[in-house]
Structure 1
Amino acid sequence: MNTPSLKQVFANPYHVFAFGFGSGLAPKAPGTFGTLAAIPLFMLLLQDLTWPLYLLWLLVTFALGVFWCDRSSKALGVHDHGGIVWDEFVGFWITMFMAPAGWMWIVIGFVLFRVFDIVKPWPISWLDKKVHGGFGIMIDDALAGVYALIVLQLIAFSVRFL
């Protein structure tokens, strides 16, 4: 697998975003590191947005991710290179849509998203195998984010009634 250096990542604007500002270059578990790198951006930019602006952010970052990840994977000659983690950023942000405030919910969201992203229950696994290009890179993590969002909201709903 052709893994670019940090210098190469920052020399290519598509790689900068696709590789999660360098977080995807982690030698082990780049998806986990990419998801961790999404947390500060969530805290700085997203957690206080109104839900319509948050949804707009998700739509724009998903669409840009399709473009960036497609260009980056083509430049590398590898579909869905392990270091491409923009999909993890967006998947985590989907998970955290309308999540309760606080570190506990960020940690729960992180764990839920990673579980769904790694396990890939149907139809995530099917999408991962059958859909290619930038959309293919993004859609399986977006759906993992939706699954994690649903479980997170169910947990939050349950906690309100304990």
Structure 2
Amino acid sequence: MRISVKSTSPINTLGTALATLGPIGHFPKAPGTWGSLAAVVAAPWLFLPLPLWGRLAVLALIFAVGIWACGVAERTMGRKDPGCVIIDELFGQWLTLLFFAAMPIWQLGLAFILFRAFDILKPWPVKWAETAFPGGLGVMADDGVAGLYALLCLHFVAWIL
């Protein structure tokens, strides 16, 4: 599915490209799942090796850029939280992994499943966060809350095992 863009200014093009993580958000089926999967696959090389302060800095940067990019994409596409906007999945998925420096593959898989479940099912306050804040902040906030739920569950499983 190709999204028509109202304005092709360089700022709108950049914001939309960041919000969709380039071509990943334009995959024809389940772009959010593909965005989460890309985040999990990239995490062992781009996120997990960083010290905790580095992971926090990366998340803060993704959150700030994501708010801006999601807002640009919404205005450009004329829709609230278009399905192709997936930078919020990157943020939420990496938030799920925040306190882990390294993980076995099964744990990365579990992190993926937990985040997707909370992101799709949207238990309170995930759905509330999506609607309580305007524009890009709402887009990013709900995935942040879903990521926190998944982070707590992942740590509980790690603690049990």
Could you state the TM-score of these two structures normalised by the residue count of structure 1?
0.89
1:17 maps to what in 2? 18
Runs of 4+ in 1 over 6 A off after TM superposition: none
Coordinate RMSD, CA, aligned: 2.1
Deviations 1:11-30 (A, max 9, x none): 91112210022111122211
Deviations 1:97-121 (A, max 9, x none): 1235221111010000000000000
2:91 maps to what in 1? 90
Identity of aligned residues (%): 35
1:27 maps to what in 2? 28
Q: Secondary structure at the match of 2:23?
A: helix
User: What does 1:32-111 correspond to in 2, within 5 Å?
Assistant: 32-99=33-100, 100-111=102-113
Deviations 1:12-61 (A, max 9, x none): 11122100221111222111011112123312211111111111111111
The runs of 5 or more residues in structure 2 that have no matched partner are: none
Contact 2:2 2:26 in 1 (8 A): no
CA distance in 1, matches of 2:120, 2:42: 22
The runs of 5 or more residues in structure 1 that have no matched partner are: none
Structure with greater proportional helix content: 1
2:126 maps to what in 1? 124
CA distance in 2, matches of 1:61, 1:155: 27
2:115 maps to what in 1? 113
CA distance in 2, matches of 1:84, 1:103: 27
